[in-house]
Amino acid sequence: MTIGLYHYLVLAVTLFAIGFFGVLLRKNTLIIYMCLELMLVAATLALVAFSRFNGTIEGNVFVFFILTVAAAEVAVGLAIVVALFRRRGTVDVAKLNALKN
Shortest distance, CB of residue 57 to other proteins, whole angstroms? 4
Shortest distance, CB of residue 72 to other proteins, whole angstroms? 4
3-state secondary structure the chain: CCCCHHHHHHHHHHHHHHHHHHHHHCCEHHHHHHHHHHHHHHHHHHHHHHHHHHCCCHHHHHHHHHHHHHHHHHHHHHHHHHHHHHHHCCCECCCCCCCCC
Shortest distance, CB of residue 47 to other proteins, whole angstroms? 10
